[in-house]
A and B are shown apart, each in its own frame.
Chain A
Amino acid sequence: MKDKSKLIGFTCAYTPLALIDAAGFAPYRILPMGDSPDQAGHILHENLCPHVKRVLDRGMQDDIPELSGIVFMNSCDTMRRLNDAWQKVRPNDNTLLVDLPVSNDPGSVSFFAEELALLTDTLSQWSGNNITPERIENSIGRYNELAMHLNELKKRVDNGTLKDGSLRLQTIYNKAATEPIKDVMEMIKQMIDETNELSDGGLPVYLFGNVLPDPEAFVLFESCGARIVSEDLCTGSRMTHSIETDKSSDVFKRLANGLLSRTACARTVDPINPGKMALDVVERANACNARGVIGHTVKFCDPYLARMPSVRDALKKEGISFLLLEGDCTMRSIGQHKTRIEAFIEMLR
């Protein structure tokens, strides 16, 4: 074991944070933010997802805190390549790639449960702590509590009763991904208890996609006249979710099932219902009474790009307007879309 710190890096919303917590570590999401120079394209390829490239840029530039290890999830091709490249550019880091099935059928859940058990063994080696089932249950409880509080906060933002709601919610999501859970929980509680203050209107819009961690992006949406009444992003509400606490069943199976059954990223498929993602987008847009839908995906993200035509078709069928934005995880790229967002909102009025 190379004991470096109490932090474990991660890069994907499918990471079982409760296991990291149970090992005595704090999870630290390496968000694709900061000013590290573009170098990753030389190791990977320029036409790879900017999320992964910017995470690798941070690793290459040493723009991350000291970590005891990094847990990568096999969520897509580029995440796999990130795991490969990380070992090359930072050979002294402890790393583990956890295999992540693409569906939640019983066989996949069993396989993933065994992968989580292996992850637990590895985390135990990295920490020197014996990770007992009781510790895992306690951590699941803590993360369930976090998910519940974040959900409450999200409801306030969705209802428009929290001043600068979406900006502050995203700030909290980022903190929940990078700071100790105890500290974040305190901040959330304080925010939930703030008195109601109606936000400045704006046209209700549903936002979905993958990586959009910069809180300034949400300021931009609002400045264009949009009010994000619900979002489904892997750097947002998809990051936390409740896990069943029925202690009579195997804890790894519960965790596996919980992760594979939660609101899905485009990489997760329901084989019984091909194209379900499009129907989910319509359902959520309707549920939050959105007047329009904005999809934001980072460039070169195959899972999302491949599903966008069906999303577009499904929304069109329902008569819901749709704007698709592609970005590279920088405010520069989202800022370039300002006129398009303004025009979209104008059209909806």
Chain B
Amino acid sequence: MILQHFEDQESGIMNAIKKNPESASPRKKLALETARLGKRLYSNADDLVWAGPLVPFDLLNAMEVTPCFAEFIASILVSTDAGPLFFENAEQAGYASDTCGYHRMLMGSALKGMIPTPKLLISAMSPCTGGLAAMENLARVFKKDLFILHIPQKESDHGVRILANHIRNMAESVSSHTGKVLDKDRLRKAMENTNKTRDILSNIYKLAQQVPSPVNGRDLSNFGIVLPLFFGTEVGIEIAQSFYDELKSRIKANRSGVPGERIRLMWLQNRIQFKNNLVKMLEKEFNASIVIDELNVITWDPIDPEDPYIGLARRSISSPLNGTVERRVKQIVKLAEAYKIDGAINPCHWGCRQGTGARGLIDSSMKEIGVPVLNLEVDCVDPRNFAEGQLITRIEAFMEMIESRPSPW
């Protein structure tokens, strides 16, 4: 069923592009490649590794192992007709509805046999203990081995060194579970590709900062969290380049992402993964554009292709989803200033302790620079209790408040 979903998605996009080559937007390119990734995951042809979102996917790609993280597949599954059934299945099996929807979706679908069996699972305590628990549960269900990366909270010398060694051990473990050897030349090439993608991403984000911004609220949603799945590959470079070219051409044509942009917003942490009208409403009613998603950011230096482990370790540690809230907040404030945002929306994904636990501290720090934050209460994956009307009312009030005050910049 899920394989069919990805095949339909792939052929649908390809047909649409064939019919109208001008419709080949970068967003479609990304969707096409994620459909292909999904096909590989579900075709039983590839060696799969389920991994946490801070695991270096480029290293796995260099080993010709197909990587995927739980939250990605959960966000795909929720868009299928069976989505609500998977939640119910998880809850019937005893997974509490108070826990993260991504992980409930994952467990519910795994128990129904809807998650392909990996060769190995790799997890980490960052970004969250719930994610680690979900991976342990998956390992139990699949009767497969679990490898745990310890990602330190701080970037200390000993922490980086130990994580770098852990990543080396991880590669060995992947090798012993898949039979795929990590070839030095392929690893070097993968790191060069990662660095190229990094450079393009950096340029994309610079373009997005322009006033008015060439991006709209959908262009770069989930971008910074999904694109790493393609790190180390030519496809990753192509996807990033297509976004860059598109934004560049919009700027050249004096075309902003949201026509008549009046309000610039930041979206914190996760987007809402199921269909909803919030972004459309923001753009249509208020000419408000989500110009920056918190996770669309480069926090790491280029990786040395000759000795990548230290660089990979530093990259994982530097993620906004790892470390103290103080560090995360500094990054958010930096983004707020760079993108000149008027306000931020924090969905406060229900069940996400590491994310929602930072709510009050984000609020107060943003207040200090004059940027208001709207905290919603949304399960970003589980649509069953989604009260769109109430959310729209709150967002409308927030927008009116922003309009009534001077810009912080």
Contacts and interface: CB of A to CB of B under 8 A. Distances in A.
A85 B152 CA distance: 19
Nearest to B169: A107
Nearest to B162: A111
A189 interface: no
Interface string B143-160: 001111010111010110
B373 interface: no
Nearest to B90: A309
A43 B364 CA distance: 9
A107 B145 contact: no
B140 A274 contact: yes
A84 B358 contact: yes
Contact of B326 (A84, A101, A107, A271): A84
Nearest to B124: A102
User: Which residue, of A78, A271, A312, has the highest number of chain B Cβ atoms within 10 A?
Assistant: A271
Contact of B360 (A44, A74, A83): A44
Contacts of A111: 150, 152, 158-159, 162
A97 B324 CA distance: 9
Given A83-B324, A102-B150, A310-B140, A302 B133 contact: yes
B326 A306 contact: no
Contacts of B132: 102, 269
A306 B94 CA distance: 9
A42 interface: yes
A113 to B, nearest CB: 10
Given A77-B357, A107-B166, A275-B136, A302 B128 contact: yes
Contacts of B206: none
B98 A47 contact: yes
B43 interface: no
Nearest to A100: B125
Interface in A61-106: 74, 76-78, 80-81, 83-85, 87-88, 97, 99, 101-103, 105
Contacts of B266: none
Given A271-B146, A305-B96, A42 B360 contact: yes
A149 interface: no
A84 B136 CA distance: 27
Contacts, number: 146
B361 interface: yes
Contacts of B354: 77, 80-81
Given A275-B140, A306-B133, A48 B152 contact: no
Given A81-B357, A308-B94, A47 B350 contact: yes
User: Which residue, of B128, B146, B350, has the highest number of chain A Cβ atoms within 10 A?
Assistant: B146
A305 B99 CA distance: 8
Interface in A108-151: 108, 110-111, 114, 118
Contacts of B358: 81, 84
A31 B240 CA distance: 50
B353 A300 contact: yes
Interface residues of B, number: 49
Nearest to B326: A84
A107 B96 contact: no
Contact of A114 (B93, B158, B325): B158
Given A45-B356, A274-B146, A303 B129 contact: yes
A309 B110 CA distance: 14
B359 A45 contact: yes
B133 A303 contact: yes
Given A305-B99, A306-B133, A49 B353 contact: yes
Contacts of B353: 45, 47-49, 76-78, 81, 300, 302
Interface in B297-346: 324-326
A299 interface: yes
A267 interface: yes
Interface string B207-243: 0000000000000000000000000000000000000
Given A80-B324, A114-B158, A271-B145, A107 B357 contact: no
B203 interface: no
Contacts of B324: 80, 83-84, 97
Given A76-B129, A101-B150, A102-B150, A110 B357 contact: no
Nearest to B357: A81
Nearest to B147: A271
Given A84-B325, A306-B130, A307-B133, A269 B146 contact: yes
A114 B358 CA distance: 28
A36 to B, nearest CB: 17
B103 interface: yes
Interface in B155-198: 156, 158-159, 162, 165-166, 169
A110 B161 CA distance: 11
B99 A269 contact: no
Given A45-B356, A77-B129, A101-B150, A306 B158 contact: no
Closest 5 CB pairs of A and B: A81-B357, A306-B133, A309-B94, A275-B140, A274-B139
Interface of A: 42-45, 47-49, 74, 76-78, 80-81, 83-85, 87-88, 97, 99, 101-103, 105, 107-108, 110-111, 114, 118, 266-267, 269, 271-272, 274-275, 299-300, 302-303, 305-310, 312
Given A84-B357, A108-B148, 10 more contacts: A43-B360, A45-B360, A49-B353, A77-B129, A81-B358, A88-B360, A102-B125, A102-B148, A302-B100, A312-B94
21 contacts: A43-B361, A47-B351, A47-B356, A48-B353, A78-B357, A80-B354, A80-B357, A81-B354, A84-B357, A88-B361, A102-B148, A107-B165, A118-B156, A267-B129, A269-B132, A275-B136, A302-B128, A306-B95, A306-B99, A306-B134, A306-B137
